[in-house]
Amino acid sequence: MSKERMQDLRQALHAAGWVLINEEQKGHLRYYEDIYQPYHEKILWGVRRNSDCLEMELEFHLFGYMGGPTADLKNILYCLAPSMNLKLYFEKRKKDAWPRTLAEFIERLNKVTKVDDKP
């Protein structure tokens, strides 16, 4: 399920020194406290790197049947870091590709020195 992949990403971000602004700043106008709550087929996370306070957004895009509307987390296709145009496709967790692509995504996020960087 996609919620588990979102949890994998959250844990990987925390392990790499990133925090979710959604959780840290409850009531932030831009981010929902419920980090799994879609709004118009998108979930938005604000993340900040502890080492240098770099902030960016991560968008989870959901696509229903035939591209139609959905709020079901199992319909998340990918996570996008829009400032970098970097996507993490939600592979099946049982496949070998998921841990590898997750690690590569985190590695690329960690190389960013400013929000408009595209390593």
The pLDDT value recorded for residue 77 is 93
DSSP characters over 24-71: HSTT-SSS-SSTT--SSSEEEEEEEETTT--EEEEEEEE--GGG----
What's the rounded Cα separation, in Å, for the pair 116 and 92? 30
Contacts of 78 (CB under 8 A, 6+ apart): 60, 61, 87, 88, 89, 90
The pLDDT value recorded for residue 119 is 52
> Is the entire prediction scored with pTM above 0.95?
no
What's the rounded Cα separation, in Å, for the pair 16 and 75? 27
Tell me which DSSP letter residue 112 carries.
Answer: -
The pLDDT value recorded for residue 67 is 81
pLDDT, averaged in runs of 10, over the chain (119 residues): 91 95 66 83 92 92 89 93 94 88 96 70
